[in-house]
């Protein structure tokens, strides 16, 4: 009999569920000939999570292929907790990952499994940040504000509390922000530009972050009113405000990075999680973070406006760029064994903005190792996983759920084709179409086994 163990920390809940499923620890059945496609139950032995040496186990299934039983595949979902990461330097380049394979500490199905690890501290990957972004705005000059709004900005201004409408005090004058403007204060600093109308039914209310810190968590409230409040005012929480409805923006889903602006449409519910009682017809005043639920370094520049009839113009500045990272992995096996590339696991995030999602794609090529240690004889690049465009989830573990993990043997065309010593992995990170949000990859893992040549 064969007993499989894995030396990774598992939660007490997972160990308990394993015991409930199997009723105790057992072993994989004795090896022997089998018919193709035949299945049989098996058990994988796991060490206890408490570290006291108590063993527990998970039930699974083996499938026969080529007259031999495959590895025991657990029925439960196990997400990979260890892997290898890359990091990005100031020039947007990837740091070299560890080149020495180690035994997989989190794969109980195959004790011969090998994986690559890194020592970069788990910084992760993200596209090159050009700052700014593109968005729609009414671009109404301060001099063209409707009657009443002209009194909101103080003239001459003396400091941050005197200027609204995405402007700041420069030499005594409230001056509109330039595309990509940030670092107005230390932290998050929400502002609001002039709103606009696209056609008859599409509305864009631009919310900006002119601080030094990205706004990535929390629920941001946006309130709407007919007339501007008295000047100066910092986030009006009294006096019946807002009288024309409010919206909520989930910053974890649509973050606003420093120097960026995000368009919300309260009518068509774009980039908002909910809106209540909103009326946007005619002139409208709106306040970002009017209830002060998100900490800011300046609450006094959060007001914006929509002037009736203002049409949309596009403001563009440098934004996140599509970025590609590559790294070569060399499998090492003792003759006569040869490498068999097996699986890919990863953890990524793919936030959305402007109705489109960011994207992460993994592709790979197989080849040989040249005399100088470089890659030679590289084959055709094959897409291994694509999230979310290709239907893969953002977290893809070694044990599912389907379609995870991507099967490298199958993707490369079978056992013989997947038995090359070098794998060149390419990770392509694509921001949302407006460039305002970017995906990240925090961990990923490639596994292989050493087997008899097919």
Decide: 152 and 234 in contact? Cβ < 8 Å.
Answer: no
Let me know if 243 is exposed, middle or buried by CB neighbors in 10 A (0-12, 13-18, 19+): middle
pLDDT at 26: 30
pLDDT at residue number 179? 76
| Contact criterion met (CB below 8 Å) for 325 and 158 | no
The encoded tokens of residue 441 equal 């990859």
3-state SS class at 64: strand
What DSSP string describes 167-187? EEEETTEEEEPPTT---SSSS
Distances (CA, A) of 114 to 133, 350, 447, 448: 42, 28, 5, 5
Q: Dump the DSSP string for 276-319.
A: ES---SSSEEEEETTT--S--S-STT-EEEEEEEEEPEEEE---
Q: State the pLDDT at residue 82.
A: 30
> Which position has the higher pLDDT, 197 or 125?
197
Mean pLDDT of 304-319: 77
Q: What are phi and psi of 109, to 5 degrees?
A: -85, -15
Q: Cβ(224)–Cβ(284) under 8 Å?
A: yes
* pLDDT computed for residue 113 by the predictor: 56
Confidence (pLDDT) at 59: 59
Residue 446 near residue 85 (C-beta atoms within 8 A)? no
| CA atoms of 418 and 449, how far apart (whole Å) | 11
Kind and range of the H or E element at 410? helix 408-411
Closest to 353 (Cα-Cα) out of 290, 260, 425: 260
Residue 93 region by backbone torsions, left for phi larger than 0, else alpha for psi between -120 and 50, else beta: beta
Q: In this predicted model, what pLDDT tens digit does every residue of 127-174 receive, in sequence order?
A: 766 655 667 777 777 677 766 676 778 889 998 888 888 989 999 998
Provide mean pLDDT across the span 340-356.
84
pLDDT of residue 115: 56
Residues in the chain: 454
Q: What values do phi and psi take at 4, rounded to 5? A: -105, 130
Over range 86-104, report the average pLDDT.
Answer: 36
CA–CA dist 365, 328 (Å, integer): 9
pLDDT tens digits, residue range 41-81? 665 544 433 233 333 445 577 788 888 878 777 665 332 22
In contact, 352 and 254? CB cutoff 8 Å: yes
Please give the Cα distance from 234 to 173 (Å, whole number): 19
pLDDT tens profile 269-291: 999 999 999 998 888 889 999 99
For the ranges 23-27, 132-136, 207-211, 298-302, the lowest mean pLDDT is seen at: 23-27
What are the two backbone dihedrals, phi and then psi, of residue 16, each rounded to the nearest 5 degrees?
A: -60, -45
- Tokens representing 319 are 């934004």
Separation CA 422–CA 420 (nearest Å):
6
């Amino acid at each position: 009999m064969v007993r499989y163990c894995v030396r990774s920390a598992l939660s007490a809940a997972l160990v308990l569920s394993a015991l409930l499923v199997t009723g105790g620890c057992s072993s994989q059945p004795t090896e022997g000939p089998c018919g193709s496609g035949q299945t049989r139950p098996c058990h994988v032995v796991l060490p206890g999570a408490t570290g006291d040496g108590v063993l527990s186990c998970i039930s699974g299934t083996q499938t026969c292929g080529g007259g031999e039983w495959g590895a025991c595949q657990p029925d439960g979902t196990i997400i990979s907790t260890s892997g290898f990461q890359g990091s990005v330097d100031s020039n947007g380049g990837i740091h070299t990952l560890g080149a020495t394979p180690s035994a997989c500490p989190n794969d109980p199905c195959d004790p011969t499994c090998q994986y690559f690890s890194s020592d970069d501290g788990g910084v992760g990957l993200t596209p090159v940040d050009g700052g700014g972004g593109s968005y729609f705005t009414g671009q109404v000059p301060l001099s063209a504000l409707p009657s009443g709004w002209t009194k909101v900005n103080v003239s001459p201004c003396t400091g941050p509390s005197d200027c609204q409408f995405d402007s700041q005090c420069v030499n005594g004058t409230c001056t509109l922000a330039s595309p990509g403007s940030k670092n107005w204060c230390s932290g998050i600093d929400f502002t609001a530009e002039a709103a606009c109308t696209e056609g008859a039914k599409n509305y864009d209310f631009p919310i900006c972050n002119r601080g030094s810190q990205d706004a990535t968590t929390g629920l941001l409230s946006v309130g709407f009113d007919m007339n501007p409040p008295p000047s100066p005012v910092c986030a009006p929480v009294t006096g019946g405000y807002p009288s024309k409805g409010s919206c909520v923006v989930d910053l974890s889903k649509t973050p606003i990075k420093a120097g960026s602006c995000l368009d919300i449409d309260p009518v068509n519910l774009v980039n908002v999680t909910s809106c209540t009682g909103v009326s946007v017809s005619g002139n409208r005043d709106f306040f970002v973070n009017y209830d002060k639920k998100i900490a800011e370094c300046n609450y006094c520049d959060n007001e914006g406006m929509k002037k009736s009839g203002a049409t949309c113009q596009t403001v563009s500045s440098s934004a996140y760029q599509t970025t590609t990272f590559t790294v070569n992995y060399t499998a090492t096996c003792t003759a006569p064994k040869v490498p068999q590339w097996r699986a890919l696991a990863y953890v990524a995030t793919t936030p959305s903005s402007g109705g489109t999602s960011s994207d992460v794609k993994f592709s790979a090529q197989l080849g040989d190792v040249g005399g100088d240690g470089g890659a030679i004889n590289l084959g055709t690049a094959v897409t291994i996983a694509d999230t979310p465009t290709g239907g893969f989830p953002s977290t893809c573990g070694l044990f599912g759920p389907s379609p995870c993990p991507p099967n490298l043997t199958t993707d490369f065309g079978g056992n013989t084709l997947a038995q090359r010593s070098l794998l060149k992995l390419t990770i392509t990170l694509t921001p949302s179409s407006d460039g305002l949000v970017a995906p990240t990859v925090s961990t990923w893992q490639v596994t292989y086994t050493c087997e008899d040549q097919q």
